Chains A and B, each alone.
Chain A
Amino acid sequence: MTAVTTEYPSKAKSSSLWKSLRSILASQEAILAITLLALVVLVGAANPRFLAERNMSDVLQGNAYIAVAAIGMSMVIVSGNIDISIGSAIGVLATMCGLIATETELPVIFSWLLPLLGGALIGAINGFFVAYLRIPSIVVTLGMLSILKGGLIVYRGGETIYNLPPDFGLAQLRPLGIPSPVWFMIVLTVLAALWMRYSATGRSIYAVGGNKEAAMLSGINIRSVIMKVFIINGVFAGISAVLYATQFTSIQAVVPPGLELSIITASVVGGVSILGGTGTVIGSTLAAVLLRAIGSSMVFINVSPYWLRAVQGVLILITVLADILRRRQLRRH
């Protein structure tokens, strides 16, 4: 039985502007943007070198590949699932990217595009197990994680890839003076946000994550939605891998440790509810940048960067708690 409370009809039409302003300010995206700004101002005041252009560009650019991967992850989480194999997938796909460039005669564009296909394939396998064989996503992707991670070590033995072709460095380009990872991050975030808001499939992700039964009654094909979400997530992992692989002059063929956690943190802190059904990719991108800013700040105010992961953990916990408490409030009405 639900409590019945009286609701005040919005008698004050004039205040609707204020109301919508308030609701924008209360959104996770705004909270993140304000936190980010406050952090930059405070740390900048404490140590002006933090504001140097070089550092600011690093703050924006450094986590761009995480932000890109977090876009796909956000979709997965909104649908009520999770993918903890994403870090390993990025490691494998980055290696693939480098090997295509160095060991094959293919034009460099293929080394940028084929990893996306590889990502889609990994996503399709995850998606198949989750959607059609109904195995919990945590278990499927835990298995996938170890297969990819172990496979990479077996295949490459942690060897670094050198001798990358000169035109390989996609992430080192600076169109209009802005580093290309930042371009990718912004453009993909905007496109994904639009897609999630305006496409029928995008909306059905929210439906599946929000109320599976209702989604079924609305005639939504739940399996196909979950499948699509995992494939898209794989493609974003591919893009992320290419950005990761092309940023330096060599590629270390290992899985970056803890990468999946950074990506999940970005999504969760960005307001994507791990209970499913809500969240946007704009939030997750802001959160990815915020995480980098926090990491960078720690250096400038002399806190050991080794505490970064603990800060991540606390941030996830706080966001999840806030989400649960908010939902409880919702239910009480």
Chain B
Amino acid sequence: MSVSEKFDHQPAANRLRSAFLSQEVVLLVILIAGVLILSTRTSVFLTVDNILNQGRLMTEVALVALPMTFIIVTGGIDLSVGSIFGLSAIVLGYSWQNLGLPLEIAIIIALVVGAICGLINGLFIVRVGVPPLIMTLATLALYRGLAEGISQARSARGFPEWFYVLGQGNFLGVPTQLWVFVIAAIIFGIVLARTTFGRTLYAMGNNELGARFSGLPVDRVKLIIYTLSGLLSAIAGYIFVSRVSTTRSDMGSGLELEVIAAVVLGGTSIFGGSGSIAGTVIGVVLIQLLKNGLSLAGAKNDATIVVIGVVLIFSILVNNFIQHRRGTAD
């Protein structure tokens, strides 16, 4: 019980907040250091073009990382995001090209399918009591399988011009999808930090039973966050199709890794109960920076996933350590 006297007299929330802050600050420092190093190494890095382009490239991961932060804060996980991403992309292309639906309708169907995929995860987790890890591992296979089955290895292409605006266009000189992400990040950030919904997420992550006994709508909240995760994965899938101009059934495979790594790197505890959207955003940016830096340094694009893997494990170790110091672990 005696962590340290000095510690005990410091107002606790400040202490918690400062611990969060320190994680965010540390990340920010690393980020700036990274930017500095890269900018001295190559002249390309610190150009407006490159930075905006990096923003364009990271949007898909970043969007999915937002609801993933919610889910991990509650102590859950969603491994099926990459498969939902791929399935939505395929459904979009299929409805438009094979079913001959108007593209606008096809987009809506793709998003609805994504949300339903998430809802199915949520329903099984809440109603049947399947652990999130297992449920979403099963649907990782199932949704990817549906994508492969529907697409039959065919891809859709040749979309009308307006379709590419979201993925390849600019608005006020900034990539369109980056606007979508910034708005989404602000909304998610406010919801988590300021609203009753966000408070409920933290309460669930720290003590689900206690939250239930306090009359909080635990089950409904779970349904909402898994559905959100499906929806945002679908939106990300749509943006991706718009960016690369085609659909393929293996799109988004491995997405869950990058997303989870970003969230955990951003200071969200894998055991639930703490984390922030700001941290997640920094985590996403940092990973994108790493990728960019490596590719500028001449490394192959795929090399970055090695780094992401290391980052994931390393940041969990650091998190564990911080939690331990804070005395809230266990």
Contact = CB atoms under 8 A, between A and B. Distances in A.
Interface of A: 82, 84, 129, 133-136, 138-140, 142-147, 149-151, 153-154, 157, 257-258, 261, 264-265, 274-275, 304, 306-314, 316-317, 320-321, 324
Given A133-B317, A150-B304, A313-B139, A145 B145 contact: no
B132 to A, nearest CB: 10
A63 to B, nearest CB: 16
8 contacts: A142-B256, A142-B260, A147-B309, A150-B307, A153-B302, A274-B134, A309-B141, A313-B140
Main secondary structure of the interface of B (DSSP, over half): helix
Given A153-B302, A310-B148, A312-B145, A146 B137 contact: no
Interface in B295-310: 299-300, 302-310
B77 A313 contact: no
Contact of B313 (A129, A307, A311): A129
Given A139-B312, A139-B313, A153-B300, A313 B305 contact: no
A146 B257 contact: yes
B254 interface: yes
Contacts of A313: 138-146
B278 to A, nearest CB: 22
Contact of A143 (B152, B250, B309): B309
Contacts of B135: 320
A316 B270 contact: no
A307 B152 CA distance: 8
Nearest to A328: B129
A245 B152 CA distance: 28
B128 A317 contact: no
B148 A138 contact: no
A140 B137 contact: no
B227 interface: no
A264 B137 contact: yes
Contacts of B250: 257
Interface string B154-195: 000000000000000000000000000000000000000000
A321 B257 contact: no
Contact of A133 (B131, B146, B299, B320): B320
Given A135-B313, A309-B141, A146 B148 contact: no
Contacts of A138: 77, 79, 133
A328 B305 CA distance: 40
A82 B320 CA distance: 20
Contacts, number: 137
B128 A154 contact: no
Contact of B303 (A134, A139, A150, A324): A150
Contacts of A275: 131, 134
Interface residues of B, number: 51
A324 B138 CA distance: 14
B300 A154 contact: yes
B140 A144 contact: no
Most buried by B among A138, A257, A258, A306: A306
B149 to A, nearest CB: 4
B30 interface: no
Contacts of A135: 270, 313, 316-317, 320
Contact of B149 (A157, A307, A320): A307
A154 B306 contact: yes
B52 interface: no
Interface in B218-250: 249-250
Given A133-B320, A139-B270, A306-B152, A147 B306 contact: yes
Identify which of A154, A275, A308, A314 gathers the most chain B CB atoms within 10 Å of its CB. Answer: A154
A143 B308 CA distance: 7
Given A150-B306, A306-B148, A307-B149, 15 more contacts: A135-B313, A138-B133, A146-B308, A147-B305, A147-B310, A150-B305, A257-B253, A261-B141, A265-B141, A306-B249, A309-B149, A310-B141, A310-B142, A313-B139, A313-B140
A317 B139 contact: yes
Contacts of A320: 130, 134-135, 138
Contacts of B133: 82, 138
